[in-house]
A and B are shown apart, each in its own frame.
Chain A
Amino acid sequence: MDGRGCEDYRCVEVETDVVSNTSGSARVKLGHTDILVGVKAEMGTPKLEKPNEGYLEFFVDCSANATPEFEGRGGDDLGTEIANTLYRIFNNKSSVDLKSLCISPREHCWILYVDVLLLECGGNLFDAISIAVKAALFNTRIPRVRVLEDEEGLKDIELSDDPYDCIQLSVENVPCIVTLCKIGYRHVVDATLQEEACSLASLLVSVTSKGVVTCMRKVGKGSLDPESVFEMMETSKRVGKVLHTSLQSVLHKEESLGPKRQKVGFLG
């Protein structure tokens, strides 16, 4: 409809470090879709089954500004659906190195609260959210802490004095979601709202930069032909690789500009 090929994304704008109170943040604009993600790192107790690891908690808020459907509690269902999908794609050992989030086993660990805000809804929410989460995690700086032990065995946590002494998470294996909407006999990447309305079923694939798939889900009221499922998976692998390489290069370029870069913020 807007002259794109079936596998082309709309123009994506990514900006990190937009909110100063967070440990990491990112804002993504994909066409008319606008997402803001903030990551806060807090200390807590590790889960009982995994005493040597920290964990991530996701929360998605569909603000009423996004579309009139989200007024009141209308956006809650969609928010829980997106949060559950995010839990699923991060629910494996290789996406984020959770062991690096451990401070002392069984007692303290870092919990990363990833909060996603939907500012404007213009189609293809899952892709934009996953790009924003990856950018925010890349931007996250977790302060270094040390556990000091007294003679009596009392433990004390010491935060390092230098505010720039931080751990950075490696986002090499963080997956991105590619949503393929089936319209007629073909499938389309990055559908706008109107294209999504024409499509009866879509396949959501979360793929890492190496082509490893971490989650697969069918969304929508219609059914899919098995052959198109296989085709869509191949397309998602191809598209995912391209998306990852371009995202990595943009993030690295932005970081290399350092503190002198011009922040566009919300008015750009």
Chain B
Amino acid sequence: MPGDNRRIRGPEESQPPQLYATDEDEVPAARDPTRLRPVYARAGLLSQAKGSAYLEAGGTKVLCAVSGPRQVEGGERGGGPAGAGGETPAALRGRLLCDFRRAPFSGRRRRAPPGGSEERELALALQEALEPAVRLGRYPRAQLEVSALLLEDGGSALAAALTAAAIALADAGIEMYDLVVGCGLSRAPGPEPTWLLDPTLLEEERAAAGLTVALMPVLNQVAGLLGSGEGGPTESWAEAVRLGLEGCQRLYPVLQQCLVRAARRRGAATPP
């Protein structure tokens, strides 16, 4: 978006000093490919949002807020991908609007706030992964807004945002079929392709391919899948998907506990 007057964009041409640094090849430390970083999750921390969640996994910090359901003018058919016609009319189904933003200081280089196509792509990925889990049929003519803000990118940012968004939706009391748990994977370059679960930023940057899987643990259904990079054959990708699904299952108890704690806190805060 040219001419964004609300924010201070900084000079047009500026580079970080790291570009001119002598090339020190930091090799990521060898580690167990199936280890998940310890996760801290907390729900119900923003007072102004209907539901909110904060998730920290290693160096990745994501804050997610949900607002709604808000009534939306019916009859407007969003120009979605071809094939949107033929289902129940769009006016009767609720809508989920997702927004994914990166803080300008979240990565190695400063990114000016209107992030552009990458953020829109990730927002679309968020929407596609959360839609199967939310009972949108129970919110006719309404709109749910989910906005995820990435405070620091420490690897597998999309997976963390997915998980945080699901917790925030549950915290807001939105009817859902199941939680959505996200997990990131990356494949190190080299002759033997090993897929690493929950990569750090360094591993992700050096990776030949990356994949994010979103799973609904109780129903055991894949809610979202987004991966790209130098492939291996399909068997390698199939192995990665299996590893990712396993990782999601392992993460689920942590999220359950987080929601229980948030419910208790809310129960204790409102006096009977």
Q: Which residues of A line the B interface, CB within 8 A?
A: 48-49, 67, 69-70, 74-78, 80-81, 83-84, 87-89, 91-94, 121, 123, 125, 191, 193-194, 196-199, 201, 203, 207-208, 211-226, 229-230, 233-234, 236-237
CB-CB under 8 A for A217 and B79, given A212-B233, A226-B245, A233-B238? no
Partner of B230, one of A84, A92, A226, A230: A92
CB-CB under 8 A for A218 and B128, given A77-B79, A194-B86, A198-B86? yes
- Give the shortest distance, in Å, between A216 (CB) and chain B (any CB): 4
CB of B140 within 8 Å of the partner chain: no
Whether A213 contacts B82 by the Cβ 8 Å rule is no
- Give the shortest distance, in Å, between A7 (CB) and chain B (any CB): 15
Chain B contacts with A in 231-272, Cβ cutoff 8 A: 231-234, 237-238, 241-242, 245
Whether A123 contacts B228 by the Cβ 8 Å rule is no
Residue of A nearest to B237 (CB): A213
Whether B222 contacts A88 by the Cβ 8 Å rule is no
Interface size range on B against A: 35 or more
Tell me which of B133, B226, B228 has the highest count of chain A C-beta atoms within 10 A of its own C-beta.
B228
Whether B222 contacts A216 by the Cβ 8 Å rule is no
> Could you say which of B37-45, B156-164, B213-221 contacts chain A?
B213-221
CB of B211 within 8 Å of the partner chain: yes
Whether A193 contacts B83 by the Cβ 8 Å rule is yes
Question: Can you list 7 A-B pairs with a CB-CB distance of less than 8 A?
Answer: A70-B79, A84-B121, A196-B82, A213-B231, A215-B227, A220-B128, A233-B237
Residue of B nearest to A221 (CB): B131
Complex CA–CA separation, A81 to B121 (angstroms): 7
Whether A217 contacts B226 by the Cβ 8 Å rule is yes
- What 0/1 pattern do residues 3 to 29 of B give for CB contact below 8 A with A? 000000000000100010000000000
Whether B128 contacts A89 by the Cβ 8 Å rule is no
What 16 additional pairs, Cβ within 8 angstroms, besides A75-B79, A87-B117? Answer: A67-B82, A89-B228, A92-B231, A93-B230, A201-B132, A207-B234, A211-B234, A216-B226, A216-B227, A218-B223, A226-B220, A226-B241, A226-B242, A230-B238, A230-B241, A236-B234
Whether B117 contacts A214 by the Cβ 8 Å rule is no
Complex CA–CA separation, A201 to B128 (angstroms): 9
Residues in A with CB closer than 8 Å to B77 are: 69
Residues in A with CB closer than 8 Å to B190 are: none
Partner of B237, one of A84, A199, A216, A218: A216
Number of A-B contacts (CB under 8 A): 139
Partner of A214, one of B15, B84, B87, B228: B228
CB of B229 within 8 Å of the partner chain: yes
CB of B225 within 8 Å of the partner chain: yes
Whether B222 contacts A84 by the Cβ 8 Å rule is no
- Give the shortest distance, in Å, between A211 (CB) and chain B (any CB): 6
CB of B36 within 8 Å of the partner chain: no
Whether B117 contacts A88 by the Cβ 8 Å rule is no
- Give the shortest distance, in Å, between A188 (CB) and chain B (any CB): 13
CB of B191 within 8 Å of the partner chain: no
Complex CA–CA separation, A78 to B121 (angstroms): 11
Partner of A222, one of B84, B132, B230, B234: B132
- Give the shortest distance, in Å, between A163 (CB) and chain B (any CB): 36
CB of B75 within 8 Å of the partner chain: no
- Give the shortest distance, in Å, between B45 (CB) and chain A (any CB): 29
CB of B208 within 8 Å of the partner chain: yes
Residue of A nearest to B120 (CB): A80
Residues in B with CB closer than 8 Å to A74 are: 79
Residue of B nearest to A211 (CB): B233
Residues in A with CB closer than 8 Å to B211 are: 216
Partner of B83, one of A77, A92, A196, A225: A196
CB of B173 within 8 Å of the partner chain: no
Whether B241 contacts A217 by the Cβ 8 Å rule is no
Residues in B with CB closer than 8 Å to A230 are: 238, 241
CB-CB under 8 A for A78 and B79, given A211-B234, A216-B228, A236-B234? yes
